[in-house]
Amino acid sequence: MIKSSARFRRTMTRASEVDTPSRNKWQIRGAAILIFLLGFTAGMLALGAYRAWARRAATPSDRFEQFATRLQLDADQKNKVQQIFGDAREQLQALRKESEPRVNDVRQQTDQRLQQVLTTDQWQKFQQMRDEMRGRRLQNRER
């Protein structure tokens, strides 16, 4: 009986020795896959952050310069195009000021009608959502 238990231990030792390199290969493969996935995830997050930064970084003058470069405008054309855009901006601002009272009336009527349909909680949530959207729009205009 002693001989058979010694033989069993030797057999088990040999089996575990054979199994160890195989186990190590799988551990290495698993670690490599994990590193690849972490790198891929980090790359995607960095790309998303860069795209968000690039969208926010463009000012109106930056956009005009890109526009002028793509159209290959000379200096005289750039000045004339800037003047045309400036005139249009002034006309649009005047139009907005002129129509603003009517727009506000429509908004007030809409609010009154919505208050009749929505519950108090829904109305408060709606106002909060609307304020958030207006804030985002104002931030976009300031760029």
Is residue 143 within 8 Å of 58, Cβ to Cβ?
A: yes
Q: How many whole angstroms separate alpha carbon 35 and alpha carbon 41?
A: 10
Q: How many whole angstroms separate alpha carbon 122 and alpha carbon 107?
A: 18
Backbone CA torsion sign across 54, 55, 61, 66:
positive
How confident is the model over 66-91, as a mean pLDDT?
A: 93
Residue 121 has pLDDT above 60, yes or no: yes
Angle at which helix 75-117 crosses helix 60-71, to 10 degrees, equals 130
pLDDT for position 34: 94
pLDDT for position 5: 62
- Helix-, strand-, coil-residue percentages of the chain, each rounded to 5: 95, 0, 5
Residue 2 has pLDDT above 60, yes or no: no
Among 4-8, 46-50, 101-105, 139-143, top mean pLDDT goes to 101-105
Single pTM value for the model? 0.43
Q: What is the pLDDT of residues 71-82, one digit of tens each?
A: 999 999 999 999
Q: Which two tokens stand for residue 40?
A: 């891929």
Phi, psi of 59 (to 5 degrees): -95, 165
